[in-house]
């Protein structure tokens, strides 16, 4: 007699060419993720081979009940680490039946920026450091923390090891391997300063693919925490007080920044970012004012400053970049709940297309 695990792990390729495609999209809050699956007749390699699909937008906060149909346009394919085999995850964006992007479809506008010839020529690279906090399911308190109480002060937890310092590593390592399996360019993980908080890094990714990969990595993480019985929070300041917040630092470079003389291009780009500081802050995530206080490795939300190796700055330039005269910089302002399509395209637009 088969048990549930046997059936979940059935290898479909033994009996059929059909595959399962899990269509993924961003829900009505702009942060929640939704998905549903459909059967396809055989393996698929390119999103253009996939059919459009629809869903009930009135049940996700994305359409009224009297006109509830929202259309999913497949955009990027990843291998499915849960079903495995030839099964796939499909990152989609959402449109009205008339073909207009719905308000939570931030990919549409980002794709326009990334398809601009000036942006294409600069081959923008992104490396995004996605921080998150694992919470106990029933009490919404960080894993490893005593219920209703607090652990010892910050210090021993960053990149820490041991049962009294590291909480949730099984979830983190499962996510790491699942992302590699899926084809996401995940480049590393580490425990963060606050206990129960972790980070994964995605990149370098070029253009629109950075947003696709972060969203699907978040989706995989939520699915794994579902299995593990814990909750993932992308709140930028999940615990008030003397605890680090959670960000999504965005490392960025263009072709000319990576070439000889690139440091001067970097400084000009940073100057542009400073001139549009308020616009960027407004687009960099909800609740970021609770995180960007000027403490806990942040710059104050109302202040723009940059520096070399300064983790209390809005923009940090690495020592190697300064020394070599070329490289990249890190925008430390985005919150952990930022939309990667908005952040990556806005940085490209400001630094490449915008003329002050």
Q: What does pLDDT average to in each consecutive run of 10 residues of the chain (356 residues)?
A: 85 92 97 97 96 97 93 98 96 97 97 98 98 95 94 95 97 98 98 97 98 98 98 96 95 98 97 98 96 89 93 94 97 98 98 94
Token digits of residue 59: 């049940």
**CA 114, CA 108: separation in Å to the nearest integer?**
10
3-class secondary-structure state, position 316: strand
- Do 36 and 65 meet the contact criterion of CB atoms below 8 Å apart? no
Rounded to the nearest integer, the mean pLDDT of the chain is 96
Of 197, 184, 186, 192, whose CA–CA distance to 234 is shortest? 197
H-assigned helices in the chain? 4-8, 107-114, 117-122, 169-182, 209-228, 255-258, 262-275, 277-283, 319-324, 340-348
Of 76, 334, 318, whose CA–CA distance to 206 is shortest? 76
Backbone angles phi and psi of 36, in degrees to 5:
-150, 160
3-class secondary-structure state, position 259: coil
**CA 210, CA 202: separation in Å to the nearest integer?**
8
**CA 249, CA 163: separation in Å to the nearest integer?**
28
Q: 203: phi > 0 → left, psi -120 to 50 → alpha, else beta; which? A: left
End-to-end CA distance of the chain: 70
Tell me the β-bridge partners of 126.
205, 252
**CA 233, CA 19: separation in Å to the nearest integer?**
32
147-198 pLDDT, tens per residue? 989 999 999 999 999 999 999 999 999 999 999 999 999 999 999 999 999 9
**CA 126, CA 202: separation in Å to the nearest integer?**
8
Token digits of residue 196: 């129960």
15: enclosing H helix or E strand: none
- CB-facing half-sphere around the CA of 16: CA atoms within 13 A: 11
pLDDT confidence of residue 336: 98
Radius of gyration of the chain (CA): 21
- Do 327 and 334 meet the contact criterion of CB atoms below 8 Å apart? no
Q: How deeply is 26 buried, as exposed, middle or buried, from its count of CB atoms within 10 A (0-12, 13-18, 19+)? A: buried
**CA 267, CA 73: separation in Å to the nearest integer?**
38
pLDDT confidence of residue 216: 98
pLDDT confidence of residue 8: 87
């Amino acid at each position: 007699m088969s048990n549930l695990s046997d059936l979940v792990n059935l290898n479909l390729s033994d009996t059929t060419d059909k595959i399962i495609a899990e269509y993924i999209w961003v829900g009505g809050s702009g942060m929640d993720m939704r998905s549903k699956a459909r059967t396809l007749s055989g393996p698929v390699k390119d999103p253009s081979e996939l059919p459009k699909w629809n869903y009930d937008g009135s049940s996700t906060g994305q359409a009224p009940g009297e006109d509830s149909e929202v259309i999913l346009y497949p955009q990027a394919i990843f291998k499915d680490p849960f079903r495995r085999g030839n099964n796939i995850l499909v990152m989609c964006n959402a449109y009205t039946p008339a073909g207009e992007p719905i308000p939570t479809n931030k990919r549409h506008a980002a794709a326009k920026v990334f398809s601009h010839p000036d942006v294409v020529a600069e081959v923008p690279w992104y490396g995004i450091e996605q921080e998150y906090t694992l919470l106990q399911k029933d009490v919404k308190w960080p894993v490893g923390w005593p219920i209703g109480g607090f652990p010892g002060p910050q210090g021993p937890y960053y990149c820490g090891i041991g049962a009294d310092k590291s909480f949730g590593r099984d979830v983190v390592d499962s996510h790491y391997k699942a992302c590699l399996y899926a084809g996401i360019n995940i480049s590393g993980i580490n425990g963060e300063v606050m206990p129960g908080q972790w980070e994964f890094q995605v990149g370098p990714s070029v253009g629109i693919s950075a947003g696709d990969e972060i969203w699907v990595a978040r989706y995989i993480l939520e699915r794994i925490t579902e299995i593990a019985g814990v909750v993932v929070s992308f709140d930028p300041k999940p615990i008030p007080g003397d605890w680090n917040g959670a960000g999504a630092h965005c490392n960025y470079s263009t072709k000319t920044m990576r070439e000889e003389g690139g440091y001067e291009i970097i400084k000009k780009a940073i100057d542009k970012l400073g001139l549009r500081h308020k616009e960027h802050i407004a687009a960099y995530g909800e609740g970021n004012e609770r995180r960007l206080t000027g403490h806990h490795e942040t710059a104050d939300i109302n202040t723009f400053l940059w520096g070399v190796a300064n983790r209390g700055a809005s923009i940090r330039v690495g020592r190697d970049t300064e020394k070599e005269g070329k490289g990249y910089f890190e925008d430390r302002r985005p919150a952990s709940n930022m939309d990667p399509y908005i952040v990556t395209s806005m940085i490209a637009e400001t630094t490449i297309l915008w003329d002050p």
